[in-house]
Chains A and B, each alone.
Chain A
Amino acid sequence: MEVALSGNEAIARGAFESGVLFAAGYPGTPGTEILEEIAKFADIHAQWSPNEKVAIDTALGASLGGMRSLVAMKHVGLNVASDTLMTVSYTGVNAGLVVVTADDPGMHSSQNEQDNRNYAKFAKIPLLEPSDSQEAKDSVRLALRISEMFDTPVLIKVTARIAHSRSVVEISRKRNALSPKRSYTRNAAKYVMIPANAKKRRLFVEKRLARLKNFTENVPCNKIEWGKKNIGIVTSGISYQYAKEACPDASFLKLGMTYPLPEYLIRRFAGNFPFLYIVEESDPFLEEQIRAMGIRVKGKELFPSVGELNPDLVKNGLLNKNSKSAISDYKRVPARLPLLCAGCSYLGLFYVLKKLNVTAIGDIGCYALGALHPISSIDTCISMGSSIGIASGLKKALKGASKKKIVAVIGDSTFIHSGITPLIDVVYNKCSGTIIILDNKTTAMTGGQNHPGTGVTLKEEKTAKIDYTRLAKGLGIKRVRTIDCYNLSETEKILKEAIADSRPSVIIAKNPCLLISKRKRTVPLHILPALCVSCRACLKLGCSAILTKGGRPYIDTVLCTGCFLCRRICPAGAIKVKRVEKQ
């Protein structure tokens, strides 16, 4: 049957059809839906992990136990999981182990645009790059086969344009025979990577790579599509589609397996042309390797390495036209920045932090939007969990130099992901400082996934819930308080006391995210023009329901959630509940 699936859905489907029995991951755009979709298959054990490192470790364990396993994450997640990845390359696997990385060129929703193909080369493991949903589905089966044939983890790289694009996929209802269960047997020489064993496995890795080079010469996903003999294009992933669109008549060497590269196939193709065009998004990953084979190539001098490619950019590159951005209007119209939701509890917290004039070191999540105008309260956003470490380092550096107090602001999911270890550091290295955990009971930024602090699993089953207060106390934090961010005076009082304390403190903001809480919308507020003195105090809140007309603020009653934050800060008492007429 033919259906339209997104790349993420197709990967999940591929996992199902090819007998994956265990899947783990941590949310992250553009790859979040892979696990969410896999979780819908009843007999695949699918779980959210606290972070990507734990995800790859559990998937490895399941592989050792004989289950075909898949682990999925966004590109930066692989940085977190890379410690394990680099050594699993040495140990190899038992049942097949597939690692899916969802990269984000163009940074639609990420802090960087690293090209994770480099990890395949770095870890010396095979790499597949599907170019549409059908190939995304097929790549899972192929990856598992390679994994079991060559005793290696296999990396599949998709990009946002693959993960979030829909295209036609042939799905089959029946499931591929599950791989014969490979039972667990102790094998210390293979899995205990002390130097004596690792040195032997290091040699195995080289031999495996040599065998993989043979394999990749004949794998069907690496193929030549002959067209006109004057233009030869080597390409992979979504760039293949763009290049086909831009120049359908050219000859193509389409690479579905891009590490290790099929050198003989490339040479055979190259022999027909004075030079090859290498069309690839992000880094010159293919280009550098093919050039190193001594083949004449043109690549990044024609096609940008920054941001996404598109058919226009590829066409301009092939015509050697200076690619001024194709979609110019897009840039000229002022950017629409994302906002915190109207009535979000974070607005209350940021309001108080600004009032107290503290330096707020931020982390990754919705609250990073607190860096934008008019809130302008967050100073940094680097990587998951880094706020706490940065805050304590900054504190040590600024000791005495700045009167401003420093606080770290970190979301609950981010805290669980990477915030506990730096909290231990705070205690151990005798830092003072306040850490604010935003316990909104979800992973909001990525669309609202459960995590160990919500008491519900990926499969919607009930489970234990982290108690942040007891956790912090257990680590040695003496001052632990909870706050309700809609209660501005109490929040201010508790924060003031905490930042005045010479000991480290943890403050837990306990308001649930508006997108998940079933809280009934209360009556909207409005601003009475007769009482409003146009002081614009309410606008400083940064609530997206408060807009202006002719310089005067007004409240959009459709957006207003009735949280009362603006009412509490209005010095003129001009904000009132809007009386709704009874019908």
Chain B
Amino acid sequence: MLKNSNINILICGVGGQGILLASEIITAVFVTSGYDVKSSCAHGMAQRGGPVISHIRIGKKIYSPVISEKQADILIGMELLETSRALNYIKKNGLIILFDRRILSEIDTTGKNGFAGDLKNRIKKKHKRVLEISRNEMANGLKNIKAVNMFMLGVLSDHFPVKKECWSRIIAKEVPPKTRDLNLTAFELGRARSRDNKNRLYL
């Protein structure tokens, strides 16, 4: 059982990063494990590189599919600008799993972006519990940055008392058959990465 009554997970990034799939997998894992789950994804123009933000709420009985301000236990940030945008959602003692990646967009090429700066430090200054995943450590283990969503799922999965097999089974079912092995490897690597992490949340 989860210790807290409800767990709120937020995933943010941009279109094409596989956020939708990741949240579908999390949702399915916890529904299978007998929880009430609601998840909600705003992904209107995502296919054109717009921002994507996905809310997942897990507990005994969940009403709102969206997380309230300062109520997210875990924020999975797949992109630095979008993570800074979502900081208001995170609980004071919540955990940010941060992928150190910046995906540029129109605002950057026009030079109108007065916010660029060092986004990563900004995030770390504002929030204490950050588990940072570097692009290199992804690339080294995987040789493919595309499966970063599954790597992050791996990290996340280690924080819950749900059997690893349950995750793997659902991942295998949800991802395209051709990419199954890559995705499962990414998941394993992410899970292992979380093991040596002092920031573990015991939920």
Q: Measuring CB to CB, which residues of chain A are less than 8 angstroms from any residue of chain B?
A: 2-4, 29-30, 104, 106, 108-110, 132, 160-161, 164-168, 238, 240-242, 244-245, 248, 310-312, 315, 326-330, 332-341, 366, 369, 372-374, 445, 447, 515, 539, 544, 546-548
**A165-B39, A330-B85, A374-B109 given; A447·B66 CB < 8 A:** no
Chain B contact patch, size range: 35 or more
Distance of A9 Cα from B28 Cα, bound (Å):
14
Given contacts A328-B88, A338-B48, whether A167 and B109 have CB atoms under 8 Å apart is no
Shortest distance between the CB of B81 and any CB in chain A (Å) = 6
Bound Cα distance from A454 to B109, whole angstroms: 36
Does B38 reach chain A (CB closer than 8 Å)? yes
Return the chain A residue nearest B55 by Cβ: A165
A539 contact set on B, CB distance < 8 A: 109
Bound-state Cα–Cα, A515 to B47, Å: 10
Q: Is the CB of A312 within 8 A of B69?
A: yes
Interface membership of chain B positions 90-111, coded 1 if the CB is closer than 8 angstroms to chain A and 0 otherwise: 0000000000000011111111
Q: By CB atoms of chain B within 10 A, which of A110, A240, A328, A335 has the most? A: A335
Task: Closest B residue to A326 by CB, please name it.
Answer: B69
With known contacts A336-B82, A337-B105, A372-B106, A241–B65 Cβ distance under 8 A: yes
Q: How far is the CB of B65 from chain A (nearest CB, A)?
A: 4
B51-107 with Cβ < 8 A to chain A: 51, 62-66, 68-69, 81-82, 84-89, 104-107
Q: B43 at the A/B interface (Cβ < 8 Å)? A: yes
CB < 8 Å neighbour of B115 from A312, A334, A338:
A334
Other-chain contact of B106, A104, A110, A167, A339 (Cβ < 8 Å): A339
| B14 beta carbon closer than 8 Å to chain A | yes
Q: Which residues of B contact A241 (CB under 8 A)?
A: 63-65
Cross-chain contact A336 with B14 (CB below 8 angstroms): yes
Q: In the docked arrangement, what's the CA distance between A164 and B43, Å?
A: 9
Does the CB pair B51–A336 fall under 8 Å? yes
- Choice from A160, A244, A341 contacting B44 with Cβ under 8 Å: A160
Q: How long is the Cα–Cα vector from A327 to B112 in the complex, in angstroms?
A: 22
Q: B48 and A161: CB pair below 8 A?
A: no
Q: Nearest Cβ distance between residue B19 and chain A, in whole angstroms?
A: 12
Q: Contacts A241-B65, A333-B115, A539-B109: A164 and B48 contacting too (C-beta < 8 A)?
A: no
Residues in B with CB closer than 8 Å to A335 are 107
Report yes or no: B109 in contact with A447, Cβ–Cβ below 8 A.
no
> B152-172: contact bitstring with A at CB < 8 Å (1 yes, 0 no)?
000000000000000000000
Q: Residue A164 contacts which of B42, B49, B69, B107 (CB distance < 8 angstroms)? A: B42
Give, as a whole number of angstroms, the nearest-CB distance from B49 to chain A.
5
